[in-house]
Structure 1
Amino acid sequence: MNDAPAPHVERRGPTELRDPLVRNELKKAGVWFGMGVSILLVWFLAQPLLLIFSGIVLAAILDGGTRLLGRVLPIGRGWRLAIVTLAGLGFIVWTFIFAGMELVGQAEELRATIAAQLDRIFGWASSLGLTQSNMQLDQLTSQIMGSLGRLTSAVGSAVGVITSLVMILVIGVFIALEPRLYERGVAWMLPMRNRDAFYRTAQRMGYTLRRLMAGRMVGMAVEGFGTWLLLLAGGVPMAALLGLLTGLLAFIPNIGAIVSGVLIVLAGFSQGVDTGLWAVGVYFVVQTVDGYLIVPYVARKTVDLAPALVLGAQLLFGALFGIMGLALADPIVAMIKTALEQKSREEEGQGAGVAEP
């Protein structure tokens, strides 16, 4: 009888990386760890990322203007981009130089008018017991600004604002000058099998962003000039400033319209009931034209975003990233939706190709 011990079979231990179970668990842990690190990076680098995305949005505007100008002016792309850029800068310089003095005076008058109107509203509400009797405009302003979220040091001062605007302009011009170069740079970091899908997605996202910004520019112009002319015809004070503010705030859907509407109504009622009612009518006419003509047309040409989705994104991004996040919430949501829709088309196309005999 053989009393020799049976040979011992060694099995893989928990630290053996060749074990399929260990490798699978490590992959899962790596995915969760990577997601956590990505979230932290996005949080701490939110301001630079928003500046970069602002440059991309500006590049879409410049690229759209360059393409549109190419339909009537057959010159090189660089020259067309220079014309569009200089035209935009010229409009901004003209606004500050020629209209600046008048608008500065009107801005102080508007501030005093709004403060007086709000004091009257607070007094009336206090007489009814709806608010505290010592409620001040400064306290309300600080509460509203606090609810909009934080502004980081990158845009917390006048120097930071100017620096950020210059950075956005530089990024936007460089991307608009050679967009294919940056697409190839991003695609180079992807596997070869994913590059064709990336190019298609990037092309669709660029098309959507150009159309979205074109519609936004048209809406801003219509609301700004329409508000100015109608308020001027009705004798509402500070019509030029209110028109300019309405046009600028039109870049932020939903919330911008509410803010501009409050300013218009308060300025109108400062001159009497008739003027106030005219201001209310002007606001509804302008918003109806934008909401029922311009916005639906842009939605059909780009991506149809539900108003509640946009408003929710604005509240979320405004609370997290401040004014810049509030302004960029709409294009960010549009880009995410476009990417998801393109991904769905790619998967459906692959499924149809497999199902075909």
Structure 2
Amino acid sequence: MLSDRQLVRNVVVVCAILILLYFAWLVVSVLLMVFASILLAVAFRGLATPVARFTHMPVRYAVFPVTIGLVGIIGMALYLFGSTIQTQMFELVENLPAAWAALEARFHLQSLSVDLLQQAEAAAPSSATIIATLQGVTSNVFEGLVGLFLVVVGGIYFAVDPELYHRLVLAFWPEEERDRVEASLKALGADLLAFLKAQFIAMVVVGLLTFIGLTIVGVPSAMALAIFACLAEFVPLIGPIVSAVPALLIALTMGMDAALWTLLVFVVVQQSESNVITPLLQQRMVALPPAITLFAVVVFGQLFGLLGIILATPLTVLTFSVIRNRPA
């Protein structure tokens, strides 16, 4: 039988936990950004270690050229991809009426076009709605850029002096628990690093296969599209679908046959990644069953939006690692 003092203490502890959980929910986007920074710091340290070994400089200083190189490569890739998509979209818009007219004549869809035009006119948004939508998009883009800047800068800070933050975390635990917590943190870091290495290899292989396939098909700007497919591979299930859309739109400017061949390229690349590359790489990372990955993307996407979708796999790896390395 609990005494009144023990009962009050238990109630206070439960209330404190609920308050902490509520506060964590309010700042969940910040916590996700912190996790993204830590993930980026693990990647920076992983790349900086061989650079430091080769150049004989401290790892903390090797982080800076690695960061500059990565940011430069990704920035150049996005610039090339953006200019490519802009050019091809203009070409697609110019060719789309003629292609639609040919499709109408072939399948006798003239009446369908009239119905679609009338429905489009009826559903056309007002100018106020358009302005509000543009304002929302602009605000979201600005918030996304600010968040990306904070994640990158935070990742650099974590990567330059991880021992400082390591000691800070350990300071929250009693002296007798610190050895166990430190061992758990090292195991978590090793699992995240193994995941990033395996993911990096998969991304590079997908990018190379996509580039080879699109080059054979003859799709313009195969390099930019392959780089985008490489980056999108980080997001499971959804990333490959998103990366295929611009390539298919560009291929449509070349004709239906080119679009079908392009679709076949992405199907073959993704099947190779799912059935050959990933099973081999899972030997070096926390093995995640495909069903778990699928529902993790859905759950984290519903809970945390776009950032949750992007971080769904590493968050799942973190969860599995915590369960696997929990003390007996």
* TM-score bracket relative to the smaller structure: 0.7 to 0.9
Looking at structure 2, the residues matched to 233 and 113 of structure 1 have their Cα atoms a distance apart, in angstroms, of 25
What is the CA-CA distance between 1:342 and the residue it aligns to?
0.4
What is the CA-CA distance between 1:334 and the residue it aligns to?
0.6
- Cα distance change on mapping 1:323 and 1:83 into 2, 3 Å: same
- Cα distance change on mapping 1:21 and 1:111 into 2, 3 Å: farther
Question: For the Cα contact (< 8 Å) 1:305–1:334, is it kept in 2?
Answer: yes
Q: 1:168 maps to which residue?
A: 151
Q: What is the SS of the residue equivalent to 1:157?
A: helix
**1:255 counterpart = 2:238:** yes
Looking at structure 2, the residues matched to 113 and 223 of structure 1 have their Cα atoms a distance apart, in angstroms, of 31
Superposed structure 1 runs of 4+ greater than 6 Å apart: 113-116
1:120-175 CA distance string (max 9 Å, x none)? 9xx99x99x9xx95776xx9xxxxxxxxxxxxx9x943332222122111110111
Q: 2:173 maps to which residue?
A: 190
Structure with larger Rg: 1
- 1:73-92 mapped onto 2 (5 Å cutoff): 73-92=55-74
**1:242 counterpart = 2:225:** yes
Looking at structure 2, the residues matched to 39 and 342 of structure 1 have their Cα atoms a distance apart, in angstroms, of 23
- Cα distance change on mapping 1:261 and 1:159 into 2, 3 Å: closer
Counterpart residue identity of residue 305, structure 2: G
Looking at structure 2, the residues matched to 306 and 238 of structure 1 have their Cα atoms a distance apart, in angstroms, of 35
The one of 201, 204, 216 aligned to 2:184: 201
TM-score, length basis structure 1: 0.74
**1:321 counterpart = 2:304:** yes
Looking at structure 2, the residues matched to 68 and 213 of structure 1 have their Cα atoms a distance apart, in angstroms, of 15
Unaligned ranges ≥5, structure 1: 1-18, 140-152, 348-357
**1:105 counterpart = 2:86:** yes
- Cα distance change on mapping 1:91 and 1:271 into 2, 3 Å: same
- 1:288-307 mapped onto 2 (5 Å cutoff): 288-307=271-290
Q: What is the SS of the residue equivalent to 2:254?
A: coil
Question: For the Cα contact (< 8 Å) 1:107–1:241, is it kept in 2?
Answer: no
Q: 1:354 maps to which residue?
A: none
What is the CA-CA distance between 1:93 and the residue it aligns to?
3.9
- Cα distance change on mapping 1:115 and 1:304 into 2, 3 Å: farther
**1:34 counterpart = 2:20:** no
What is the CA-CA distance between 1:186 and the residue it aligns to?
0.6
Looking at structure 2, the residues matched to 180 and 318 of structure 1 have their Cα atoms a distance apart, in angstroms, of 32
Q: Which has the higher helix share?
A: 2
**1:46 counterpart = 2:54:** no
| Aligned-pair identity (%) | 25
Looking at structure 1, the residues matched to 275 and 55 of structure 2 have their Cα atoms a distance apart, in angstroms, of 33
What is the CA-CA distance between 1:267 and the residue it aligns to?
4.3
RMSD: 3.5
Looking at structure 1, the residues matched to 311 and 52 of structure 2 have their Cα atoms a distance apart, in angstroms, of 28
The one of 187, 202, 207 aligned to 1:219: 202
- Cα distance change on mapping 1:320 and 1:232 into 2, 3 Å: same
Q: What is the SS of the residue equivalent to 1:251?
A: coil
Looking at structure 2, the residues matched to 57 and 265 of structure 1 have their Cα atoms a distance apart, in angstroms, of 32
- 1:263-302 mapped onto 2 (5 Å cutoff): 263-265=246-248, 267-269=250-252, 271-302=254-285
What is the CA-CA distance between 1:263 and the residue it aligns to?
4.5
Question: For the Cα contact (< 8 Å) 1:208–1:302, is it kept in 2?
Answer: yes
What is the CA-CA distance between 1:198 and the residue it aligns to?
0.9
TM-score, length basis structure 2: 0.80
What is the CA-CA distance between 1:241 and the residue it aligns to?
4.1
Looking at structure 2, the residues matched to 82 and 115 of structure 1 have their Cα atoms a distance apart, in angstroms, of 47
- Cα distance change on mapping 1:229 and 1:113 into 2, 3 Å: farther
What is the CA-CA distance between 1:110 and the residue it aligns to?
8.2
Looking at structure 2, the residues matched to 23 and 254 of structure 1 have their Cα atoms a distance apart, in angstroms, of 52
Looking at structure 2, the residues matched to 331 and 164 of structure 1 have their Cα atoms a distance apart, in angstroms, of 18
Q: How many residues align?
A: 305
Counterpart residue identity of residue 103, structure 1: T
Question: For the Cα contact (< 8 Å) 1:62–1:81, is it kept in 2?
Answer: yes
1:305-356 CA distance string (max 9 Å, x none)? 112112212112212221111101111111111011101xx30xxxxxxxxx
- Cα distance change on mapping 1:298 and 1:71 into 2, 3 Å: farther
Unaligned ranges ≥5, structure 2: 124-135
What is the CA-CA distance between 1:265 and the residue it aligns to?
4.3
Looking at structure 2, the residues matched to 114 and 21 of structure 1 have their Cα atoms a distance apart, in angstroms, of 81
- Cα distance change on mapping 1:108 and 1:281 into 2, 3 Å: closer
- Cα distance change on mapping 1:194 and 1:216 into 2, 3 Å: same
